[in-house]
Amino acid sequence: MRSADSWFAEYGESHQNPTNKAIHWVCVPLIFWSVVALIWSIPSPAEWLNWAVVTAIAVQAWYVALSPRLSLGIGVFLLVSLALCWWLESAMAFPLWGLALVIFVAAWIGQFVGHQIEGKKPSFFKDLAFLLVGPAWLMGFVYRRFGWRY
């Protein structure tokens, strides 16, 4: 598997514009959460082990292979995303998937606006793995901000 630095360098090539970067700081976490919520909304045979938890385990395994240290931060975000789904599902008067779908569409519109400003295509057009690299790229900034290695 490629190193995190290798993925981040290639991802960073199409994320140089400050406005596009700012849009990504908002939209990438929203997309990440909305995908978790959409998967959470798929009916499953066991209430305590739904499809979002199963998917989160598989996604977390990819992040562990990418960088065990970085996967800790992503894992926390995954757990917060799952907890938010659990809470919202019981607290809202309308279906979770409806809120998640609105956020998903709005955040992707924001992403494409950011890339229009950047003047470069989103990285995932080249390789779908970049859909997982985006959240890790942001987490990498958080780690570097605190002087943590990933």
pLDDT value of position 49: 83
- C-alpha distances in angstroms, 80 versus 15, 20, 32, 100, 116? 26, 25, 11, 15, 31
Render pLDDT for 77-109 as a digit per residue (tens, 0 to 9). Answer: 999 999 999 999 999 999 999 999 999 999 999
Q: Is the dihedral of CA 63, 65, 70, 71 positive or negative?
A: positive
Domain spans, the chain: 4-145
pLDDT in tens, 34-49: 999 999 999 998 877 8
